[in-house]
């Protein structure tokens, strides 16, 4: 790691110093490139010259009821794609595969946490989706109605989503770990007509009581638009599940009495597909609205080129369907591409810390897509769990959710990929719908920690506070200069907030502001610096939390780190680091001092943490993201904010006690 600093600008226009520089380069192997779905680097120039023609070519790979006549209509900040076109997303994910050799190919391979397994071929899945489409119609659901899905990570989650798409209903999936308050808020904002849930789902050997949580959310008529609740029997004796007469219905019983075949609804290219809620910095969650044809076009394109997906692959994305990654890269993208998708219900360390590697070996997984949070946990647990299993089936690895630390990237490459698998580090958001910045594995040489280049046809840029492009080697705000097919169309019921949140920062320049800082190096590669809100002001220097965290993780003792700025009467802010160690290391005062000097040596004295606090766990959401907001509350001595989305609320309470008792 070099220590030369580059700069970007913060919300107040001050310079943000980007200090990490990564010199390791991993070109695609000749063998991989020779068989890759895309291996010609000229595609970047071709797509850049005419992005609309590029995306139109991809759109024509879908099956249309009526062809589109206009590729894109752009009235900033609103875009419409493939105007005039009519199609159905469920038909594109299922029906068209029944006409070829994929009919009897595995669509979903399911592994439950207790060890139960199921395989659904494309024909099986088509039958299930048809039947459940009949269930929804039987309950009075039609085109444009909203349906809330609150299920564990089981095939029925995908079936429910595709059934909604088949009949033109708009689904909103709520992650199965969310609280009753969170579920109620999303139901009421979307004004859903039907709630689909389960009696429970398995997590670390216990049953997550989804039906009880759903009942709490609906208690006392708190969700007046809900007319029916469909309950899937996953984890309990049906005789012991409380069912409200007239409102609650067992999934399997409705399937018995409902039509077995439902023709797909003909949908306009811009008809809504789903609402997915993402947390706002203040106020209620934002209901991200995605529509039909553009979304599926980009999901399909990125599925085929980012993951180099082939018919013989067994593809595993570890995300839950409750998040956008599960929407785009567990359900819609893979099934549109005719892939075989592995779904796993439970935790990566249950009943043992080698469960993921056991599953990869068992099913011969070839493409594996997971989060940096999980990778750092695997690092912490040690290589002995990996070494028990044959992972030679793997040919490509992916990373998603947040910037990946370079040392975590190297560990992933060497220990999981055996030094032979390309890694596609992907940057995108709930709002973008699909990959925006990612290497094409047969074309792009990768650098640990960098998402590399924008996907062909994507107009990403790094700009200063005036919205002007910064020179190579500099940093700034990550923006999109041009519309893209899978972009959000608005916020459900709040277009003013949509415009203010994403399009107002640079005024009339009509730039989409992602909320992230980034720098672009001399090779044109993008390096994400984290949320602009996470920048620390230390003695007049704006410093990225991500870079200090990366420096800490590069120490051989550190598995994971979260860094925040706390108020300091002299420096403005001081750096506080919460550190999780790898197994076999102890959090001593000597190690704390060593880590402080390690950061100073790698990225500069100004970045030396004032506080190092060792912790076995860090506060994370159920999707695995570290809640730095709560860590700031701890460091500032404030009352803790909302902890309802945490995977384990006790972690933050324990950290608060430990920090308050620490000597600093």
pLDDT for res 177: 83
Mean pLDDT across the chain, nearest whole number?
A: 92
Q: Show the tokens assigned to 650.
A: 């006790």
Decide if 502 is inside a domain. Answer: no
- The token pair at 254 is 């409705």
Residue 235 lies in a domain: no
Q: Dihedrals φ, ψ of 466, to 5°? A: -95, 0
Q: Is residue 524 situated within a structural domain?
A: no
Low-confidence residues of the chain: pLDDT under 70: 1-21, 279-283, 539-542, 622-623, 641-647, 663-664
**CA-based nearest residue to 265, from 145, 375, 99:** 145
pLDDT of residue 21: 67
Indicate the SS3 state at residue 623. Answer: coil
Number of independent structural domains in the chain: 1
267, β-bridge pairs = 87
**Predicted pLDDT at 6:** 43
* C-alpha torsion sign, points 400, 339, 44, 465: negative
Q: How far apart are CA 192 and CA 598, in angstroms?
A: 53
pLDDT at 661: 76
**Per-residue model confidence (pLDDT) at position 392:** 98
* Residue 541, domain CATH: 3.30.300.30
Helix (H, G, I), strand (E, B) or coil at 478: strand
Residue 532 pLDDT: 82
Give the range of the structural domain holding residue 558, as residue numbers without chain letter: 534-661
- The confidence score (pLDDT) of residue 542 equals 64
pLDDT tens column, 112-157: 999 999 999 999 999 999 999 999 999 999 999 999 999 999 999 9
Cis amide linkage into residue 351, ω under 30° from 0: yes
CA 26 to chain centre: 25
| Cα distances (Å, whole numbers) of residue 179 to 176, 203, 226, 241 | 8, 15, 18, 19
Task: Quote the tokens at residue 355.
Answer: 């469960």
Cα–Cα nearest to 83, from 328, 263, 292: 292
569 falls within a domain: yes
Size of the chain, expressed as the number of residues it contains: 664
**pLDDT at residue 527, as a whole number:** 94
Closest by CA to 516, choosing from 542, 555, 544, 548, is: 544
3-state class (DSSP) for residue 521: coil
pLDDT at residue 173, as a whole number: 98
Q: Report how far residue 591's alpha carbon sits from residue 612's, in angstroms, rounded to the nearest whole number.
A: 9
Q: Evaluate whether residue 95 is within a structural domain.
A: no
Q: Is residue 338, in this structure, part of any structural domain at all?
A: no
Quote the pTM value.
Answer: 0.87
- For the beta sheet containing 460-463, the strands, ordered from the edge strand earlier in sequence to the opposite edge, are 460-463, 475-480, 512-520, 526-531
- Residue 214 inside a domain? The answer is no
pLDDT tens by residue, 186-240 = 999 999 999 999 999 999 999 999 999 999 999 999 999 999 999 999 998 899 9
The whole-angstrom distance between residue 389's C-alpha and the CA centroid of its chain comes to: 27
**In a domain? residue 623:** yes
């Amino acid at each position: 790691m070099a220590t030369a600093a580059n700069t970007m600008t913060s919300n107040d226009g001050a310079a943000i110093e980007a200090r990490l520089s990564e010199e390791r380069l991993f070109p695609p192997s000749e063998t991989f490139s020779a068989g890759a779905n895309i291996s010609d680097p000229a595609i970047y120039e071709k797509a850049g010259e005419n992005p609309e023609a590029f995306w139109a070519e991809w759109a024509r790979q879908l099956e249309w009821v009526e062809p589109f006549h206009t590729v894109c209509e752009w009235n900033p900040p609103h875009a419409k794609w493939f105007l005039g076109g009519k199609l159905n997303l469920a038909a594109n994910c299922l029906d068209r595969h029944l006409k070829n050799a994929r009919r009897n190919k595995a669509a979903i391979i399911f592994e439950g946490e207790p060890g139960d397994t199921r395989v659904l071929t494309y024909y099986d899945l088509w039958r299930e989706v048809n039947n459940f489409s009949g269930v929804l119609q039987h309950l009075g659901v039609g085109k444009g109605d909203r349906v809330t899905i609150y299920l564990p990570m089981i095939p029925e989650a995908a079936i429910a989503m595709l059934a909604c798409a088949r009949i033109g209903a708009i689904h909103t999936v709520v992650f199965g770990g969310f609280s009753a308050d969170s579920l109620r808020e999303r139901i009421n904002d979307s004004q859903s007509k039907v709630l689909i849930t389960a009696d429970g789902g398995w997590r670390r050997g216990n049953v997550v009581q989804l039906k009880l949580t759903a009942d709490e959310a609906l208690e006392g008529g708190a969700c007046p638009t809900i007319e029916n609740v469909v309950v899937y029997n996953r984890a309990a004796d049906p005789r012991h599940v409380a069912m409200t007469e007239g409102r609650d219905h067992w999934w399997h019983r409705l399937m018995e009495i409902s039509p077995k075949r439902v023709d797909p609804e003909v949908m306009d290219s811009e008809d809504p597909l789903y609402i997915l809620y993402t947390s706002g910095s203040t106020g209620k969650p934002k209901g991200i609205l995605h529509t039909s044809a553009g979304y599926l076009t980009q999901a399909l394109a990125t599925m085929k080129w980012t993951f180099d997906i082939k018919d013989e692959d067994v593809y595993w994305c570890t995300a839950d369907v409750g998040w956008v990654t599960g929407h785009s890269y567990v359900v819609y993208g893979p099934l549109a591409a005719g892939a075989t998708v592995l779904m796993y219900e439970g935790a990566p360390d249950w009943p043992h810390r080698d469960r993921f590697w056991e599953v990869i070996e068992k099913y011969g997984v070839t493409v594996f897509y997971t989060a940096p949070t999980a990778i750092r946990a695997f690092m912490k647990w040690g290589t002995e769990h990996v070494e028990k299993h044959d992972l030679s089936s793997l040919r490509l690895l992916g990373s998603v959710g947040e910037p990946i630390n370079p040392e975590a990237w190297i560990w992933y490459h060497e220990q999981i990929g055996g030094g032979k698998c390309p890694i596609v580090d992907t940057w995108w958001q709930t709002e973008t719908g699909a990959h925006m910045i990612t290497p094409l594995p047969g074309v792009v040489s990768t650098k640990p920690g960098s998402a590399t280049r924008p996907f062909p046809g994507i107009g990403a840029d790094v700009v200063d506070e005036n919205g002007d492009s910064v020179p190579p080697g500099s940093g700034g705000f990550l923006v999109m200069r041009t519309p893209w097919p899978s972009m959000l169309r608005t916020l459900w019921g709040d277009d003013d907030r949509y415009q203010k949140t994403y399009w107002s920062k640079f005024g009339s320049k009509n730039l989409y502001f992602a909320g992230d800082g980034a720098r672009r190096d001399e090779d044109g590669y993008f390096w994400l610096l984290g949320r602009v809100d996470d920048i620390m002001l230390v003695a007049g220097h704006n410093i990225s939390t991500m870079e200090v965290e990366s420096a800490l993780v590069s120490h051989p003792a550190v598995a994971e780190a979260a860094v925040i700025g706390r108020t300091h009467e002299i420096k403005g802010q001081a750096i506080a680091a919460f550190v999780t160690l790898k197994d076999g290391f102890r959090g001593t005062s000597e190690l704390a001092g060593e880590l402080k000097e390690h950061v100073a040596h790698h990225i500069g004295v100004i970045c030396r943490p004032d506080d190092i606090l060792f912790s076995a766990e860090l506060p994370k959401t159920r999707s695995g993201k570290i809640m730095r907001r709560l860590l700031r509350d701890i460091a500032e001595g404030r009352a803790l904010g909302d902890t309802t989305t945490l995977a384990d609320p006790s972690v933050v309470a324990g950290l608060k006690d430990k920090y308050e008792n620490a000597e600093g």
